Amino acid sequence: MTPEPHTGADRSPGEPIGAMLTRLRLARGLSQLRLAELLCAAAGTPTVSRHEVSRWEREERVPGPFWRGWLALVLDTPLEALESATAARRHAADPATGDPRRLWHPPTAADLLDTLDRAGGDEVRLLAHAWLAGPPGHRPPAPAPRRPAIPAAGDPPGPARLRTLRQMDDVVGGVDLAGTIDRELRAVITASPPARADRDALRLVAGWAQLAGWVHADAGQPRRAQRAWSVGLRAAAAAGDRPLAGHLLGSVSHHHLAVGRPQEALLLARTAYSGARSPASARCRALLLHRVALAAAGVDERRAAHAALARADRAANRATAPDREPDWLYWVDEAELTAMTGRCLVAVGRPMRAAPLLLSISSCRTPRTRAVYAGWLARAYLDLGEVEQACEVAADAWVAAVRAGSARAAAGLRQLHPLLVRYRDVPAVRGYQRLATAAADYLPGGDSPTHHRARAAAGRR
């Protein structure tokens, strides 16, 4: 995959030098070795190795003024951006602002609870950079070997309870589940302090945190979602579970795309795939590549989107049976991957190929899934000039979104809405508009006083 380059102008505010170098290198499809070779060729001196680039990205060292100048040339980014990133790195290393390299220190329960309560908006992005760059030269001590579990009354929620709530999330809205999952995540963290736990316990914390983030995002609570995902990434990294960490970052990427942050979504999707692809199963790789494809389409990198989509299809063809996958991948079956392909084809402007792949939403097992993919099918019909058909499918999507109580489904439909109402001279559009206006008040993000009553009434129908 050879993505189109980005300049430093789209960097996140306060991005430190290591994160910037990683992002710019990945955006150009370069390995650390290839970047080192290009720097040596440009500067005419063979004094930079792949290991030196790795140290820069992990921020064990900072490139000096000489190499910052050549980095600006090779990565086609303004030198001023690299200078600002160098200053941001010094700020990030200040103990008062926190250091993302703590990702590689075994977390205590207090650490994780503090992250859950106080993490800032840039926490996930900074941790993602540290995770992709890899651990520092001296690894912290690994968690202690597993000790036999001692059954007791009031044991914390375990894997069986997590599986139950994942399945419940398929049919219950995030607003209704968020409180329960938050309480149980805290119980899992405090009952078995991760610094003394085995890797299975850390994976359990990461799994609960991934679900908590997903549910908070679905409830329209982005800050709480980001904090939960930060906890999950720290626990997955400490457990050495790169596929689960990649899935966490893929979830964050998907959320950023839904709330209108496509550049951030693409960076995180590429980070997730780059860091997890080697140990991940074929089905997991297919999911992560779908995240890359959709995010690339969101910033109009169509060639990169098509390339990621083709690789996702090849990975899906090599996938094993779903029951041999990790628990957290239970929902990624053939039908879901087909619908994901259709969604991406709509995003890159190929609605004729997309529509047949999305038609399966008529038999979707959950209201939220139906609402999400029906919104994409409506957009495909609209792009094909089938306005009346688009209105019919979009109206069905709004009803399904209300039944699901899903902010994520509502976000997609709110993006579709202005495209449809441009055709308000068509009678079907006027009917659709009345329904959509009424439905929007009952969804997360509208804060209507009748929000909860409407969802309950919809569930009784």
Helix, strand, coil percentages, rounded to 5, for the chain: 70, 0, 30
Diameter over CA atoms, the chain? 73
Distance of alpha carbon 353 from alpha carbon 325, whole angstroms: 29
End-to-end CA distance of the chain: give it in Å, rounded: 48
The helix/strand/coil state of 261 is coil
- Give the sign of the dihedral formed by CA 182, CA 187, CA 190, CA 196: negative
Strand residues in 275-350 grouped as ranges (E): none
Average pLDDT, the chain: 81
Percentage of the chain beyond pLDDT 90 is: 39
DSSP string, 383-406: HTT-HHHHHHHHHHHHHHHHHHT-
Distance of alpha carbon 339 from alpha carbon 353, whole angstroms: 12
Distance of alpha carbon 223 from alpha carbon 455, whole angstroms: 24
Distance of alpha carbon 62 from alpha carbon 89, whole angstroms: 9
User: What tens digit of pLDDT does each residue of 414-448 get?
Assistant: 989 999 999 989 999 999 999 998 988 887 665 43
Alpha carbon 205 to chain centroid, angstroms: 18
pLDDT value at residue 100? 58
The helix/strand/coil state of 426 is coil
Neighbours of 360 (CB within 10 A): 15
For the domain covering 1-94, report its CATH number: 1.10.260.40
Distance of alpha carbon 147 from alpha carbon 80, whole angstroms: 53
What is the reported pTM? 0.77
Distances (CA, A) of 208 to 35, 217, 266, 406: 38, 14, 25, 19
Distance of alpha carbon 261 from alpha carbon 238, whole angstroms: 28
Write 153-156 long-range contacts (CB < 8 A, 24+). 155/191, 156/184, 156/187, 156/188, 156/190, 156/191, 156/192
Interacting residues of 311 by C-beta distance below 8 A, sequence separation 6+:
1, 285, 289
Q: What torsion do the CA atoms of 275, 334, 330, 239 make, to the nearest 10 degrees? A: -10
pLDDT value at residue 137? 54
pLDDT value at residue 170? 81
φ, ψ (nearest 5 deg) of residue 28: -100, 5
The domain locations on the chain are 1-94, 107-133+158-240, 358-461
Pick the closest to residue 20 from 71, 94, 95 (CA basis).
Answer: 71
Alpha carbon 226 to chain centroid, angstroms: 10
DSSP string, 6-46: --GGGPPTT--HHHHHHHHHHHTT--HHHHHHHHHHHHT--
Neighbours of 233 (CB within 10 A): 28
Q: What is the CA radius of gyration of the chain?
A: 23
Residue appearing with tokens 């359990």:
204
DSSP string, 114-144: HHHHH--TTHHHHHHHHHHH---SSPPPPPP
Q: Which residue positions in the chain have pLDDT lower than 50?
A: 1-13, 93-98, 138-154, 195-196, 447-461
- What tokens appear for 288 in the block? 């992560």
pLDDT value at residue 59? 76
Q: Count how many residues are written for the chain.
A: 461
Strand residues in 241-380 grouped as ranges (E): none
pLDDT value at residue 50? 87
pLDDT value at residue 88? 65
